[in-house]
Amino acid sequence: MALEVKLLDSKILREVRELVRPHNPQYCYQCAKCTSACTATKVIPDYKPHLIVALTRLGLIKGLLDSGIIWACTECWKCSEYCPQDVAPVEVVIALKNLSVAMGYKPPEDLKMMAKNVVELGYISPPIEVLSKEFEMYSRSALSLPELVKPYIHEGTAKNLKKLLGGIYE
């Protein structure tokens, strides 16, 4: 089944371009140097940064967002480092991640948890006790480290973050 040309649209590309300024995904000439460098593709073959840029350019991202494959990016930044056209594929993927969240797609559960913790606690996870080699549990104070100062996050800042992050951690 061939793809119908009316599905090709620049709208999503324009939104992505706004988010990735000053990089330009339209400069990409599909050399695939990014995918050759990509950390994720070596273990998750379906994840291919050059393909994500190509699909974004055509506006054909529904499949990408539905599959959630964009969350496979390890953000190692190798693609951007080696890209000869300053496309910065990682920035395109981050833009798609942002757009998907804004559209209502669910990000990985643990990531949602981290966001929730930052807004409520100021850190991506609450302070935990760790197990030592001698099988003892140690907290910060047990290790003679200074206590974390409360409130961990300012009220106003938390409110702003909540707004920016949207309702993802309902």
Partner 1 sequence: MSEVRIGVYVCHCGKNIGGVINPAKVAEYASTLPNVVVARDYVYMCSSPGQSLIEEDIRKYNLNRVIVAACSPRMHEPTFQGVLKRAGLNPWLLQMVNIREHDTWVHEDTPDKAEEKAKELVAAAVARAAHLYEITTEKFPVIKSAVVIGGGIAGIRASLDLANAGIKVYLIEKKQSIGGKMAQLDKTFPTLDCSQCILTPLMVDVSRHPNIDIYAYSEVVDVSGSAGNFKVKVKLKPTYVDWSKCTGCGTCVEKCPGRAPREFDEGLGVRKAIYFEFAQAVPRRPVIDPKHCLWFTKGICRVCEKVCPVKAIDYGQEERYVELNVGAIIVAIGYELYDLSRLKEYGYGRFKNVISGLQLERLSSADGPTRGKIVRPSDGREPKTVGIVLCAGSRDEKHVRYCCRFGCAAAIKHIYYIKHAIPDAKVLVFYTDVRAFGKGYEEFYQKYRSEDNVFFIRGRPAEIFEDKDGSLIFDVYDSNTGQLINVKADLVVLEGAVVPPKDWEALRRVLKVSCDPGGFALELHPKLRPFETTSDGVFLAGAIQGPKDIPDTVAHAAAAAAAAIGFLAKGYVESVPYLAVVNDEVCSGCGLCVSVCPYDAITIEEREGRRVAKVNSIRCKGCGACAATCPSGAMQQNYFTDTQIISEVVSLAGGAK
Partner 2 sequence: MSKFLLFLGCTIPTKQYAYEISVRSVLPRLGVELVEFPEAGCCGFPLKGLNKKAWIYMSARILSIASKKGLPILALCNGCDTSLRKIKDLLKHDEILREEIAKLLEDEGVKLNLNAGVYHTLEVLHDFIGVEKIKSQVRRPLNGIKIASYPGCHMLRPSDIPRPEDPVEPRKFDSVLRALGAEVGYYPDKGGCCGATILPYSAKHALLIVAAKLKTIKDYGFDGISTSCPYCMEMIDAKQDAARSEVGDESISIPAFYLTQLVGLAMGLSPKELGLNLNVSPIESILEKLGVSLYE
Binding site for partner 1 (CB under 8 A): 27, 29-38, 41-42, 45, 48, 50, 78-79, 81-82, 84-86
Near partner 2 in 54-83, by CB under 8 A: 68, 71-78, 80-81
> Tokens 């988010």 sit at which residue?
19
Angle at which helix 49-58 crosses helix 89-103, to 10 degrees, equals: 60
CA 166 – CA 57 distance, rounded (Å): 26
CA 124 – CA 112 distance, rounded (Å): 10
Q: Which of partner 1, partner 2, none binds 31 (CB below 5-8 Å, type-dependent)?
A: partner 1
Stretch that binds partner 2, among 7-15, 28-36, 56-64, 113-121 (CB under 8 A): 113-121
Tokens (6 digits) for 39 = 């950390």
54: helix, strand or coil: helix
**Residue 85 found at the interface with partner 2 (CB under 8 A):** no
Residues with Cβ within 8 Å of 59's Cβ and at least 6 positions away in sequence, in order, are 7, 8, 9, 10, 11, 12, 13
Q: Which of partner 1, partner 2, none binds 35 (CB below 5-8 Å, type-dependent)?
A: partner 1
Contact 138, 130 (CB under 8 A): yes
Strand partners, 137: 131
Q: Which of partner 2, partner 1, none binds 111 (CB below 5-8 Å, type-dependent)?
A: partner 2
Q: Measured from the CB atom, is 8 or 160 closer to partner 2? A: 160
Contact residues toward partner 2 (CB under 8 A) are: 19, 21-22, 39-40, 42-44, 68, 71-78, 80-81, 94-95, 97-98, 101, 107-111, 114-115, 118, 122-128, 130, 132-134, 138, 140, 143, 145-146, 148-149, 152-154, 156-157, 159-161, 164-166, 168
